[in-house]
Structure 1
Amino acid sequence: MTRSAITSASSEAHLLEVVLADQADCIGMLNGASALYMMGKAALRCAAEHSGCSVKLAKADSIEFVRPIRIGSTVDIRARVVFQGLSTMTVIVEMTPDASDEQEDPSNIYGRFLMVAVDTNGIPISIASSTTHDQQKNL
């Protein structure tokens, strides 16, 4: 189950997900691949809303798994654009458990995602030109 919202500035995304059994390892904790999938989804949504065009994941790095997250936990996934280049955006994503699981430092998993604005052929495009193109279509 996923809910999402983009802020009015369109540089942030907020997703809520429930950790299900098929996303967990043999000891009942969220597995790394499922965590990266959830985080990547938030980064993609954030970058697409920010740029106003299609985006692709170019790189994921600095992923840190601070604490495990249990099956049944609701996780709050927040993504925000922290840098925009000509066709790229750096998106920081943080995943934290719901309030009942929260400890002093609630961050459980966080990382950095490099997203690229692309055209319909998957070729990188300028973020500014994609926004201008969309505005011209609406005239």
Structure 2
Amino acid sequence: MTELETHPAASETRLCEMVFPEQANHYGTLFGGTALSLMGKAAFIAASRHARAAVVMARSEQIAFHHPVSVGQLVELHAYITRDGRSSMTVEVEMISETLSTGHRSQAVKGQFEMVSVDEHGKPKPYRQQA
């Protein structure tokens, strides 16, 4: 059994953020780039907690915007490791929007991020010894 299987909470991250007007476009909805930035931050934290090493983003993929997030809504980001490699890992990030007045929640964005453990020169470095 791997550490990921025995301690999943240590590789999981949840963040909450309110959407304010300065984070929105002229339609009054969250900028796509801001959504990706928040998701990247959640992926970075989850990967850092998992590897306990310096990590960088190598790739983002399969980003699906399901519905817009309006100014005044809360977004909750849930990041968790779905693939555990020797020096890299895949982090799945879900962004859930919530209307505070009603409690209605729905998945707004979902995506995957490849994170890589690196040494002081930015080169891939194993974060765990293979058994």
Q: Give the TM-score normalised by structure 2.
A: 0.86
Unaligned runs of 5+ in 2: 1-6
Report deviation, 1:36.
Answer: 0.1
Query: What is aligned with 1:72?
Result: 72
Which segment drifts farther, 117-126 or 55-64?
Answer: 117-126
- CA distance in 2 between counterparts of 1:83 and 1:8 reads 12
Alpha carbons 1:12, 1:46 under 8 Å: kept: yes
Distance 1:43 1:68, change over 3 A: same
Is 1:9 matched with 2:9?
yes
Using the size of structure 1 for normalisation, the TM-score is 0.82
Corresponding pairs, count: 121
- 1:49 match: 49
**Equivalent in the alignment of 1:88:** 88
1:37 and 1:8 map into 2 onto residues whose CA distance is: 24
Deviations 1:92-126 (A, max 9, x none): 000001253625xx111000000000112211100
How much does 1:91 deviate? 0.2
Gaps of 5+ in 1: 1-6, 130-139
Assess if the C-alpha contact under 8 Å between 1:86 and 1:127 holds in 2. yes
* Among candidates 101, 104, 124, match of residue 102 of structure 1: 104
Percent same amino acid among aligned pairs? 36
**RMSD of Structure 2 on Structure 1 (CA):** 1.6
CA change 1:8–1:88 in 2 (3 A) is closer
Distance 1:102 1:21, change over 3 A: same
Distance in 2 of aligned mates of 1:121 and 1:73: 40
Give the corresponding residue for 2:3. none
Please tell me whether residue 31 in structure 1 is matched to residue 28 in structure 2.
Answer: no
Aligned counterparts of 2:17 and 2:90: Cα–Cα separation in 1: 22
